Amino acid sequence: MMTSAESPRQVPGEIVTRFAPSPTGRLHLGHAVSAIRAHDFARADGGRFLLRIEDIDGTRSRPEHVETILADLAWLGLTWDELSFQSQRLALYEAALAELRTIGLLYPCFCTRAEIAEAMTAPHGPVAAYPGTCRGLDAAHRLHEPHAWRLDMARAVARAGPLAFIDGGEVHPATPLVQGDVVLARKDAPASYHLAVTVDDAAQGVTDVVRGRDLFEATHVHRLLQALLGLPTPAYHHHALLAGPDGTRLAKRHGAPALAAMREAGEDGRAVADALRAGCLPAGFSTANA
């Protein structure tokens, strides 16, 4: 039996799910699958479905994409109980960062992307995570320079102790150490995905996170942050992804077919949603686990 400290789910009561797209491009069928699954999971239990726009990437987020997201989801026949924007929640992220700094788990990182890429492909062999170049650096006099904030993963894991989370009804041990010293605030953004999504899910009372299998590894980091910040842990439901005719998972950067294009072509969005619920995919499309 797990102790209360180890319990991977601590949020009782009403089911609350969310769909949290970034307004950096148009939604595609893969997004539709995730939104429908999260929506239906909540509605089947009389729960609440939230729509959260992850718009803190100021260099790529566009207001017109927000409008398209809302239109696409309505076209699919989905409704939401709350609409929120990460750009309006910056104080929450700063408070979480301040708490982690206070307990000595963050350090500033001044490395450029090129320097990180070079370090990770050095002759001693490639590594899967940031090699800790700035860890232990006396940087108090350099904080006026552009920098990111990284989590000292080894210290954080030691502080939190053994952790677990539920995914698809199964208990998984959390192993965030392999992710390395992840970024929690970027040079060009007040919070990384890891920090923002963890803080938001707790603040909004999300009980069940329904998202793609590609984010399973990120859940290990989120479980750690929940423990460090004293936040509740939702249950997770990572679903298979959609792959296109070339066998690669659908992604904005690969030119995946946009829902807006289907909508503008006069297709019936509710029929598309029902087909996806039934597992009926367009010709050439398939599901993939990564």
Q: What is the CATH number for 236? A: 3.40.50.620
| CA 12 – CA 3 distance, rounded (Å) | 16
Quote the domain boundaries for residue 45: 16-288
Please tell me the total count of domains within the chain: 1
DSSP, residue by residue, 56-113: --TTT--HHHHHHHHHHHHHTT---SEEEEGGG-HHHHHHHHHHHHHTT-EEEE---H
Cα maximum dimension of the chain: 60
> Residue 17: phi, psi to the nearest 5?
-120, 175
Q: What is the pLDDT of residues 74-98, one digit of tens each?
A: 999 999 999 999 999 999 999 999 9
| DSSP state for residue 18 in the 8-state scheme | E
Rounded CA gap, 241 and 212, in Å?
A: 6
- Asked if pLDDT for residue 4 goes beyond 50, the answer is no
Q: Are 220 and 157 contacting, i.e. CB atoms less than 8 angstroms apart?
A: no
Query: Which pairing describes strands 106-109 and 148-151: parallel, antiparallel, or unpaired?
Result: antiparallel
Question: Looking at the domain assignment, is residue 8 inside a domain?
Answer: no
Consecutive H or E run containing 228: helix 216-229
Q: Please determine, for residue 124, whether its predicted confidence score (pLDDT) is greater than 50.
A: no
At 44-79, the pLDDT tens digits run 999 999 999 999 987 788 999 999 999 999 999 999
Residue 230 lies in a domain: yes
How big is the CA angle at 120 (ends 132 and 218), to the nearest 5 degrees? 70
Assess if residue 126 is contained within a domain. Answer: yes
Those residues whose C-beta lies under 8 Å from the C-beta of residue 179, and which sit 6 or more positions away, are 129, 153, 217, 220, 221
23 close to 63: Cβ distance less than 8 angstroms = yes
CA distances from 136 to 113, 176, 187 (A): 19, 20, 19
Q: What is the per-residue pLDDT across 168-226, written as a single tens digit (0 to 9) for each?
A: 999 999 999 999 999 999 988 899 999 999 999 999 999 999 999 999 999 999 999 99
Give tens-digit pLDDT for 248-261.
776 665 556 799 99
> Is 252 a known active-site residue?
yes
Structure tokens at 178: 């392999």
CA 236, CA 198: separation in Å to the nearest integer? 13
10 is a domain residue: no
Is 2 a member of any domain? no
Tell me if 203 sits within 8 A of 92, measured CB to CB.
yes
Spatial CB neighbours of 18, under 8 Å, sequence gap ≥ 6 = 38, 49, 50, 51, 52, 201, 204, 206, 209
Of 9, 135, 172, 252, which residue is the catalytic one?
252
Residue 263 has pLDDT above 80, yes or no: yes
- Looking at the domain assignment, is residue 108 inside a domain? yes
Nearest to 238 by CA among 259, 258, 208: 208
Answer whether residue 6 is part of any domain: no
Whole-angstrom Cα distance, residue 208 to residue 9? 9
**92 falls within a domain:** yes
β 164-167/170-173 pair status: antiparallel
Q: What is the pTM of this model?
A: 0.89
290 class by beta-carbon count within 10 Å (0-12 exposed, 13-18 middle, 19+ buried): exposed
